[in-house]
Amino acid sequence: MSTDIQIAIVGSAGDGTIAAGDILRRALAEIGYRVISFDVYPPEIRGFGKCIARLRVTDEQAYSLKPQSDVLVSLDDSHAIPHVHEAREWGAVIYESGSVGPLPEGAHISAHIDPGQIPYNAPIRELSEKSTGSARSRNVVVLGYIAGLFRLPIDPFLRALGAKFKGKADVAKKNEAALRAGYDEGARWFRLDDVVFGPPPAKASGATLEMISGNAAVVRGAIDAGIDTFFGYPITPATSIMERLASEMPKHGKRLVQTEDEIAAISATVGAGFAGARTATATSGPGLALMAEMLGLGVIAEVPCVIFVSQRGGPSTGMPTKTEQSDLNMAVYGGHGDAARIVVAPTNVDGCYRLGGMAFEMAEAYQTPVIVLLDLYLSNRYETVPFPSKPPFKADMNAIADTRGNGFKRYALTPDHISPRSIPGQAGGMYVATGLEHNELGRPNDTAEMHTNMSRKRHDKLKAALDHPGLNAYKRFGDEGKVEVGIIAWGSTFGEALEAMILAREDGISCSALKVVMISPFPTEAVAEFIGDCGQVLVPEVNYQGQFAGILQAHVPHAVTRLARVPCAPMEVDEILAEIRRLAGRTPAKQAA
């Protein structure tokens, strides 16, 4: 029996909705299931705004959340009522059976449950008050109720709860009582829904399976790659990268500095890269805009450094707690002059780990700033990730020069366009790195010939990054050869695109999906070859202009269909699937009859 169950918990800020989702996903991951989750929370202070914890539990790898949940839990009816329709037919809706006082007509969620949905009214508040003396543990009661209702083992929930309240013995004891009270209540119910947890998959050997967020995976990749220094300034949704590194780097004898602003952060990062350190900063769109000038210095001075960028809704301050993929143009083109740099975009949490470490390799190998482009959805998304038994990253990829002779040419024009590099203090390796155009020695030179040669050098050296060892710059999925519809996607939206492709193939549509991870330099030949196999090409992305489609068509002048949306949330699989069907001239099977 296979498992593919999505659970959504809806509440108000202050109800412990997000905490409940965290405990639930950790318990289910410990049992052995694959989990992917994404939380929605408001920018407002405690007590205001809607919070939603959504997680999908499977026995095989899932690539996105489903449009409808199998289980919907209400911790606050006023927020949950608009989401009742998101529970599927014959799915479970769990809610509070009583109320503190009289309610206006239609204010209780029971009045909004569809006839095909299965209601479970539980005395959530009463169980919390009886077991802990307070209603504050309603979220934990709900977790116990879910475990009992679906006959899940309670011990992983107890361990996850203990980890959540580590060091708070009294709080942990009360919440354990709330969990057990909810479990006993759920276990005594006769279930009518068709939600069934099958046995978890066998655990893979040679790797550890861990539940981790995208930002935490970036941090782990950076640590495993041997990051030396980090300079940053807090900004949502990248802040947790700096917070985690602040905790982890001192354990490895490394240094982190919180600077006064983003300009100082990128300036210090470029300076540390010049000094030979593996160095990084992290920011979001507004911060990246401030970093543009110093990124140009990193390009012209050929300084290795890494910039982690987690996108959010824009422009300007925009929407700090909403996801978007609208900083792509700035990441690729932002800055004056021809400032080519490497831009990579992971598509899942495992990719966050691998690119989080590999970015340091590429920065050193190609002597350039490397931007790793995430977004809020990917930064805050949790997945179970198999980590290798030992870090896969190379500790040093610098082309260090032999400077024992005279006339060290830091910017020598070489066949592979990679110049020998010296580290400050190296005998005979002294040179000046400025923002001025220069000759091979690094001395200012503004002749047309030298500027042309150096511009060519800075661009052409990056082409080798497409074949960087261990990097999947692009990858094709689905049908081989000629297909009716091809999907080309990048970043966090690729998961939804892949799910849509799988469903389209089940409809009998020949379909393939191309994942593009390396955006600059662009894999032109691979994309052109893929497009040549496709009758129609669909490019879904979460921005208004279709920025990736614009970059694609600049490199491969071919007609594509843009599915560009700004829903303030991840794009839905059903929307991509509907567009695939339209392009293929098909009607969904259940409608055709």
Provide, rounded to the nearest whole percent, the portion of the chain with pLDDT above 90: 89
The pLDDT value recorded for residue 101 is 66
Instruction: Give the chain's domains with CATH numbers.
Output: 4-187 (3.40.920.10), 210-388 (3.40.50.970), 474-592 (3.40.50.920)
Residue 593 has pLDDT above 80, yes or no: no
CB 321 within 8 A of CB 42: yes
The pLDDT value recorded for residue 591 is 45
Q: Would you place residue 205 in the very low, low, confident or very high pLDDT band (cuts 50, 70, 90)?
A: low
CB 96 within 8 A of CB 124: yes
Residue 590 has pLDDT above 70, yes or no: no
Sorted by sequence, the CB contacts under 8 Å of residue 226 that are 6+ apart come out as 278, 360, 393, 395
pLDDT digits (tens, 9 = 90+) for 236-272: 999 999 999 999 999 999 999 999 999 999 999 999 9
Residue 132 has pLDDT above 60, yes or no: yes
pLDDT digits (tens, 9 = 90+) for 71-97: 999 999 999 999 999 999 999 999 999
Residue 214 has pLDDT above 80, yes or no: yes
Q: What is the DSSP string of 5-57?
A: EEEEEEEETTS-HHHHHHHHHHHHHHHT-EEEEEEE--SSPTTSSEEEEEEEE
Q: Would you place residue 481 in the very low, low, confident or very high pLDDT band (cuts 50, 70, 90)?
A: very high
Give me the mean pLDDT over the 148-156 stretch: 97
The pLDDT value recorded for residue 436 is 97
Helix ranges, 389-431 (H): none
In SS3 terms, 182-251 reads as HHHHHHCCCCCCCCCCCCCCCCCCCEEEEEEEHHHHHHHHHHHCCCCEEEECCCCCCHHHHHHHHHHHHH
Give the CB-side neighbour count of residue 108, counting CA atoms within 13 A: 16
Q: Would you place residue 209 in the very low, low, confident or very high pLDDT band (cuts 50, 70, 90)?
A: confident
Q: Would you place residue 482 in the very low, low, confident or very high pLDDT band (cuts 50, 70, 90)?
A: very high
The pLDDT value recorded for residue 589 is 47
Q: What is the pTM of this model?
A: 0.93
Residue 592 has pLDDT above 60, yes or no: no
Q: Going by DSSP bridges, is the β-strand pair 69-74/87-96 parallel, antiparallel, or unpaired?
A: parallel
Residue 327 has pLDDT above 70, yes or no: yes
pLDDT digits (tens, 9 = 90+) for 493-527: 999 999 999 999 999 999 999 999 999 999 999 99
Q: Would you place residue 51 in the very low, low, confident or very high pLDDT band (cuts 50, 70, 90)?
A: very high
The pLDDT value recorded for residue 406 is 76
Burial class (CB in 10 A: 0-12, 13-18, 19+), 480: exposed
Q: Would you place residue 404 in the very low, low, confident or very high pLDDT band (cuts 50, 70, 90)?
A: confident
Residue 562 has pLDDT above 70, yes or no: yes
Computed over every residue of the chain, the mean pLDDT equals: 94
The pLDDT value recorded for residue 24 is 97
Cα–chain-centroid distance for residue 476? 20
The pLDDT value recorded for residue 45 is 56
The pLDDT value recorded for residue 44 is 59
Q: Would you place residue 352 in the very low, low, confident or very high pLDDT band (cuts 50, 70, 90)?
A: very high
Q: How many residues does the chain have?
A: 593
